[in-house]
A and B are shown apart, each in its own frame.
Chain A
């Protein structure tokens, strides 16, 4: 057991490309922290620097009060599960799990006990004599985890452990990992590009983009108080809607009409003195006005529904809109950052399953404006953020500046 402290970690590759840029993350003892971001954001590199498979260009890596920058992987006492499992194919499952113990010089009886208890935890007992080549993907995954839990490691590191499994198995293994981590109470750092895994597994989630830490917060804080456009767009599925917005007093002009927002939000938004902002509203904060309790606060507007996807418990309605070029450009950049492709600008609205809205209808849509966020279109910064409930956002203001410079 140990805490992991990353202080201003920088990783520059030989060609000078900075893969990780001044990232500081504290992982408390026993905490489950997720590193998440689109591909190329430096999350795996960061993990490999923790375990010692990559050199640290600058900054300090402290594991359990000990600076480990220059220690070899084997001296750091960490256990890692690799994305492609990296099982030893010439050894049986038993020997695979026993491998770290044998290296540590554990002898006969103790070794056997430990291996058997690990295999019992992971329900691998009947496969102990088989070779990894004869196992299914899920079983291999469990063997890889067995190799990690059999040692008394200071921390677990997972590098996208579930990305090679099919959807159903992924769900099962996800809960299995969560249960195991709670049971063992061991410090865990988990890398993934999947925001569902990030949200469901982590005590805290670190969102990274192109080597920069965007926000480090609990899943709930990330969801309700994203620090910038990128985090807002990355967390949540379907993603947050981004609309061009003009704020005047307490009213916000959206492409579909004007809505009222709470006064404190309006005040925060006006501090940058910009005419055009980007409004971010999650799909579930819209509703078919006909099914909303009239006592609920909010505004309504009318819009032409393009497509409806009815899923039973809810329905997604798509409403296309036109965005001015400044906003359009920013949204396209955001899509690229999120590994997506910029398609048409459209609003995704999550409706109640009882809603009778059909494709082509001119529907009246209700929106919960108290949940609306307003972003600076140039820096992407969230102007209406509640900083007390947003975890850590490194150089909240400067982050935007850096990005603006990058864009030039």
Chain B
């Protein structure tokens, strides 16, 4: 028993250490976001705002009242969701084909997908900038959606094809014998069973799109399409020589909220063992 108890204490201490390591910066950002601008300029080392340094919800109100910021949030949510949706749909279809069909060049598709994933993002920014300017995609939503999609597709395809491969083929055949067209069998049997994979791919894609900075800052010039990470870096208060750190902190906190919500929603769908009971195991 004693041994058991000490193991548990050890686990808890370990967990706390890891949590501190991971969450301290987040906690500090939150702390900063509640301090007033003057307190930060004057130097306010405490975690909790000192007397008279606290700003209450003022920073948040200011950030949310800021048109530029609101627009960036809107851009980010829109671009990330569309990119995620498209990427997941295309990846689902592609992965299904790869898992189920035998077609020439199947290996090539998979290798190409990996090769794309290995490309450093930065190396593509220059060419993309030129191309987008010529085509007219520069500083538009599609101008960001397309690169986000292409960079998340490989991972999504690989994840999903692994999921599809685990679904017994008999299920689909059973559905076809039961009177389903290939498309009905796919939609009513295969996709529901691959849901955990679909949502895993969706989360990963959304993360990538939401957190991206390089494309966001290089392929946009105005608030028409500028996403949050880029917008935050352009966020300048009244005094250009004095960056509004507490406002930025509040903005950063606000911009993490959607991603937390999305993860909580999607995570619920990622249930293991969904296929149990389909066939004799």
Contacts and interface: CB of A to CB of B under 8 A. Distances in A.
Nearest to B181: A74
A133 B275 CA distance: 8
A226 to B, nearest CB: 33
Interface stretch (B7-15, B87-95, B165-173, B198-206): B165-173
Given A73-B176, A73-B177, A80-B177, A86 B279 contact: yes
Interface string B132-171: 0000000000000000000000000000000000001011
Nearest to A130: B277
A89 B168 CA distance: 11
Contact of A89 (B173, B184, B188, B274): B274
B68 to A, nearest CB: 45
A374 interface: no
Nearest to B189: A88
B173 A73 contact: yes
Please tell me the size bucket of the interface on A: 20 to 34
Contacts of A103: 178-180, 184
B149 to A, nearest CB: 28
A99 B188 CA distance: 10
Contacts of A53: 173, 176-177
A79 interface: yes
Contacts of A133: 273, 276-277
Interface residues of B, number: 25
A184 interface: no
B259 interface: no
Contact of A88 (B176, B273, B276, B278): B278
B56 interface: no
Contacts of A90: 192-193, 274
A86 B176 contact: no
Interface of B: 168, 170-171, 173-181, 184, 188-189, 192-193, 273-280
For the complex of A and B, the 5 pairs showing the least CB-CB separation, nearest first, are A133-B277, A132-B277, A84-B279, A86-B170, A86-B174
Given A73-B177, A100-B178, 18 more contacts: A51-B177, A52-B177, A72-B176, A74-B178, A79-B178, A80-B174, A82-B279, A85-B279, A86-B174, A90-B192, A90-B193, A99-B175, A103-B184, A104-B179, A132-B278, A133-B273, A133-B277, A140-B277
Interface of A: 51-53, 72-74, 78-80, 82, 84-90, 99-100, 103-104, 131-135, 137, 140, 147, 151, 164
